[in-house]
């Protein structure tokens, strides 16, 4: 399998603080890769690095073999257009209607006619089952529908790589499951590569071909679901089982 996303010695610092150090990994085409890890350890930053929103302090990020930050602006744009992202808080354009949110990337990026765009908008909204909300604004629909809308917008340019930043955050268990099933169905239909962050272990096991944990500035590739469940690293063990005591809570009140 060829690498769709590849990190080579990537380091990310904010001023003096090193958040991610010496990150090396590959994600293959069509793979479902899930990132887990405690809050504030840099999972979202890692996702934003992959999505080209943040520039690494050091190292290379290759998307389909092309260095994202060492190419011509037009080539970078072409790479960006191969990717879609669902943000943690959806990042919907609140001044645009549901339909306009999905149409936005097509209007800005493609040369499609308005008729074609409207047809595509209806297709994607139908796919995520919120076509009835076409004319509503994002703040007029429920949290679950906002997630669906975020997914529809991420899919609008029919990208090969889709990033999901905590797609089930703030949703009830039934809606969470429905969203994950929707993500998996769309992944199958579009044969896309998905990279998702979640702290809901059940949903992580449901989605993942392969998993990794971000902790202490490192990326621990934990393997497939079975391998992750049997992993020996005490940090991984504590996190996936949700134990209060262990290396992740060494300096917190709970452990003290």
Partner 1 sequence: MLNKMVGIIDDIGGVTLFMKEVFRTGIKTPCTFSEIMDQTWKVTIQSLSTTAMAGFFVGAIMTVQFTLQVSQFGALGYLGGLATSGTIREVGPLLIAFMLSGKVGAFTSAELGTMRVTEQIDAIKCLGANPIQEIILPRFVGIILSSFFLLTIGLFMSIWGGLLMGIVFSGISIEEYVRHIPNIVSPVSIVTGLFKCFVFAFVLASICTYKGYNATGGAKGVGKAVVDTAVFTMIGIVIADWVTSAIGESVMELFLK
**For partner 1, how many residues bind (rule: CB under 8 A)?**
23
Least distance (Å) from partner 1 to the CB of residue 192? 15
Binder of partner 1 out of 7, 33, 87, 164 (CB under 8 A): 87
Nearer to partner 1, 104 or 205 (CB): 104
- What single-letter DSSP state applies at residue 140? G
CB 124 within 8 A of CB 152: yes
Nearer to partner 1, 73 or 226 (CB): 73
Nearer to partner 1, 186 or 211 (CB): 186
**Binding range to partner 1, per CB under 8 A, among 63-71, 86-94, 228-236, 241-249:** 86-94
In the numeric block, the tokens 């009140």 are attached to 253
CA distance 247 to 30: 34
Q: What is the DSSP string of 172-237?
A: -HHHHHHHHHHHHHHHHHHT-EEEEE-S-HHHHHHH-SEEEEEETTEEEEEESHHHHHT---HHHH
Nearest alpha-carbon partner for 87 in 150, 40, 35 = 150
CA distance 187 to 240: 25
- What single-letter DSSP state applies at residue 248? G
CA distance 41 to 247: 14
Binder of partner 1 out of 81, 112, 122, 177 (CB under 8 A): 81
Helix axes 98-109, 114-127, angle to 10 degrees: 130
Six token digits for residue 34: 């899930």
**Binding range to partner 1, per CB under 8 A, among 44-52, 123-131, 178-186, 201-209:** 44-52
**Binding range to partner 1, per CB under 8 A, among 25-33, 88-96, 170-178, 235-243:** 88-96
**Binding range to partner 1, per CB under 8 A, among 81-89, 169-177, 219-227, 231-239:** 81-89
CB 167 within 8 A of CB 183: yes
Residues 193-232 as x/- pattern, contact with partner 1 by CB under 8 A: ----------------------------------------
**Binding range to partner 1, per CB under 8 A, among 87-95, 139-147, 216-224, 226-234:** 87-95
Least distance (Å) from partner 1 to the CB of residue 227? 31
Q: Encode burial over 126-145: b for 16+ CB neighbours within 10 A, e otherwise.
A: ebbebbebeeebbeebeebb
The distance in angstroms from the start CA to the end CA of the chain is 47
Least distance (Å) from partner 1 to the CB of residue 75? 12
- Name residues contacting partner 1, limited to 92-151 (CB under 8 A): 92-94, 104-105, 108-109
Could you list the residues that contact partner 1 (CB under 8 A)? 48, 51-53, 77, 80-81, 83-85, 87-89, 91-94, 104-105, 108-109, 153, 157
């Amino acid at each position: 399998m060829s690498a769709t996303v590849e990190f080579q010695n990537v380091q990310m610092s904010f001023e003096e603080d090193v958040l991610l150090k010496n990150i090396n990994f590959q994600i293959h085409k069509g793979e479902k890769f899930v990132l887990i890890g405690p809050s504030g350890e840099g999972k979202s930053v890692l996702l934003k690095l992959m999505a080209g929103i943040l520039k690494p302090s050091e190292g290379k990020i290759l998307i389909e073999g092309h260095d994202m930050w060492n190419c011509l602006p037009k080539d970078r744009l072409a790479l960006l257009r191969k990717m879609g992202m669902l943000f943690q808080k959806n990042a919907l354009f609140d001044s645009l209607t549901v339909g306009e949110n999905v149409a936005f990337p097509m209007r800005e990026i493609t040369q499609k006619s308005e008729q074609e765009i409207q047809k595509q908008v209806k297709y994607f909204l139908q796919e995520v089952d919120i076509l009835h909300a076409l004319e509503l604004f994002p703040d007029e629909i429920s949290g679950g529908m906002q997630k669906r809308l975020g997914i529809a917008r991420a899919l609008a340019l029919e990208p090969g790589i889709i990033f999901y930043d905590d797609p089930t955050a703030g949703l009830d268990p039934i809606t969470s499951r429905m969203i994950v099933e929707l993500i998996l169905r769309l992944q199958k239909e579009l044969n896309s590569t998905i990279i998702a962050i979640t702290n809901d272990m059940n949903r992580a096991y449901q989605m993942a071909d392969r998993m990794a944990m971000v902790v202490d500035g490192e990326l621990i590739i934990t393997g497939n679901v079975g391998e992750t469940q049997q992993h020996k690293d005490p940090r991984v063990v504590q996190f996936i089982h949700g134990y209060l005591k262990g290396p992740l809570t060494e300096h917190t009140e709970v452990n003290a």
